[in-house]
Amino acid sequence: ASDSPEDQAAATRWEGCQNRWYLDPLFRGEYPADMRELYGSLMPAIEPEDMAIIQQPLDFLGINYYRRSVVAAGSELPPINMNRVSPPGDYSDMGWEVYPAGLHQILTWTHAQYAPAKLYVTENGMATPDEVGPDGRCHDELRVHYLREHIRQTLRARAEGVPVGGYFAWSTMDNFEWAYGYKMRFGVIHVDYASQKRTIKDSGYLLQQLRQGR
């Protein structure tokens, strides 16, 4: 959230918990030393053969990206000890910040740190309050902007040499979103849950146009 040593340390702990904790074993054959020290007695027992099993060659690495995390030093999630910060800007129905540049950042960072053979954006999308209008269309302008800008950042990373093999939007149709049920709509195709009628949203037509090179 700031350049203060305390906030920077909290950001490093959170990044280690969210990213390096999973990627270091896969690509480096060990858990991050700073996170092992942080977790201390909370660490599970690691057997000698565990790392050999975990560190296997990967054909590709998939990255799910919806938002960035902005944190400050605080009291949440001990021993991470951070608080989430919500910067000014646009947010989805989920309360997630719309921050396309973060996708470029995570793609380039992952490539620089771990050099996977191939990277795919396996999930990227936003929830918006979509309705079919009197014209029979679903005009989800917020999602159109979201997808266009995130695809732009994906192509930017690829142009800079990151081996991005593909991009997958979440999701094809409005669906049952876990604990949120049918409340959150992520699809590029609208679903009327009462009639089960499907209507392609403007975002769906955007993806069609991009696929056709228009």
Q: Across the chain, what does the average pLDDT equal?
A: 97
Regarding predicted confidence, which is higher, 42 or 104?
A: 104
Those residues with Cβ within 8 angstroms of residue 116's Cβ, 6 or more apart along the chain or in another chain: 27, 58, 60, 61, 110, 163
Beta bridge partners of 120: 62, 166
As a whole number of angstroms, the distance between CA 116 and CA 62 comes to: 10
pLDDT tens column, 137-195 = 999 999 999 999 999 999 999 999 999 999 999 999 999 999 999 999 999 999 999 99
Residue where the block lists tokens 């938002």 = 67
pLDDT at 35 over 80: yes
Beta bridge partners of 97: 91
pLDDT at 81 over 80: yes
CA distances to 51, 85, 92, 124, 189 from 184, rounded to whole Å, are: 39, 23, 10, 15, 13
pLDDT band at 136 (very low <50, low <70, confident <90, very high): very high
CA distances to 35, 61, 78, 146 from 83, rounded to whole Å, are: 18, 29, 10, 26
pLDDT tens column, 88-101 = 999 999 999 999 99
Those residues with Cβ within 8 angstroms of residue 31's Cβ, 6 or more apart along the chain or in another chain: 21, 24, 25, 43, 46
As a whole number of angstroms, the distance between CA 63 and CA 118 comes to: 11
In this prediction, residue 213 carries a pLDDT of: 84
pLDDT at 126 over 90: yes
Q: Which domains does the chain have, with CATH numbers?
A: 5-211 (3.20.20.80)
User: At CA 62, angle to CA 58 and CA 67, rounded to 5?
Assistant: 150
pLDDT band at 214 (very low <50, low <70, confident <90, very high): low
- Single-letter code of the amino acid located at 30: E
Alpha helices in 99-140 (DSSP H): 101-114
Regarding predicted confidence, which is higher, 119 or 211?
A: 119
CB of 188 within 8 A of CB of 172?
Answer: yes
CB of 200 within 8 A of CB of 188?
Answer: yes
